[in-house]
C-alpha cells in the first residue's frame, strides 16, 4: 500500500536555486493538493488540482508552480528559492469532490533554503 509518495524526504538549497518536489499517488484519486507547514503553524494550501490538466491556487501560491499531466503525479516547482520557503511540504490526495472522502497525506519533504 504505497498511498502518497513524496521525494525527496530532505533537501538543502541555496538562495536562487530551483527544484521540483515530486508527489505521486497510486489510489486513482482525482484531487491532489500541496501544503506547507511552518513550525508551530497549521498547514497552508499552496496549490490544488481536481484532475489531470486542471490546477488552481490555494492560500499561499506565490513563488511556486505546479502541473498535473497525469492522474498519478502532481509535482511542485520552486523557481527561485528564497529563505521564506524553508518549510515542510506535504502532498495529499482525495478520491473526489464528495463530502465523505478524507485526504491522504505523504510523509513530507523537509526543505531548507540557505
Partner 1 sequence: KQEVTQIPAALSVPEGENLVLNCSFTDSAIYNLQWFRQDPGKGLTSLLLIQSSQREQTSGRLNASLDKSSGRSTLYIAASQPGDSATYLCAVNSGYSTLTFGKGTMLLVSP
109-113 and 31-37 strand pairing: unpaired
Q: Is 51 in the site for partner 1 (CB under 8 A)?
A: no
Q: Is 57 in the site for partner 1 (CB under 8 A)?
A: no
Q: Is 37 helix (H, G, I), strand (E, B) or coil?
A: strand
Concatenated DSSP letters for 39-80? TTS-EEEEEEEEETTEEEE-S--TTEEE--SSSSB--EEESS
Q: Is 100 in the site for partner 1 (CB under 8 A)?
A: yes
Quick one: 72 or 105, whose CB is closer to partner 1? Answer: 105
Closest approach, Cβ 70 to partner 1, in A, equals 19
Q: Is 28 in the site for partner 1 (CB under 8 A)?
A: no
Q: Which residues bind partner 1 (CB under 8 A)?
A: 4, 31, 33, 35, 40-45, 48, 50, 56, 58, 90, 92, 94, 96-97, 99-108
Amino acid at each position: 500500500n504505497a498511498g502518497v509518495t513524496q521525494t525527496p524526504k530532505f533537501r538543502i538549497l541555496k538562495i536562487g536555486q530551483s527544484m521540483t518536489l515530486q508527489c505521486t499517488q497510486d489510489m486513482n484519486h482525482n484531487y491532489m493538493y500541496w501544503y506547507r507547514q511552518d513550525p508551530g503553524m497549521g498547514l497552508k494550501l499552496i496549490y490544488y488540482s481536481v484532475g489531470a490538466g486542471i490546477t488552481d491556487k490555494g492560500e499561499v501560491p506565490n513563488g511556486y508552480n505546479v502541473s498535473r499531466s497525469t492522474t498519478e503525479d502532481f509535482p511542485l516547482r520552486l523557481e527561485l528559492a528564497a529563505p521564506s520557503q524553508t518549510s515542510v511540504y506535504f502532498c495529499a490526495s482525495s478520491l473526489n469532490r464528495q463530502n465523505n472522502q478524507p485526504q491522504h497525506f505523504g510523509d513530507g519533504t523537509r526543505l531548507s533554503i540557505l
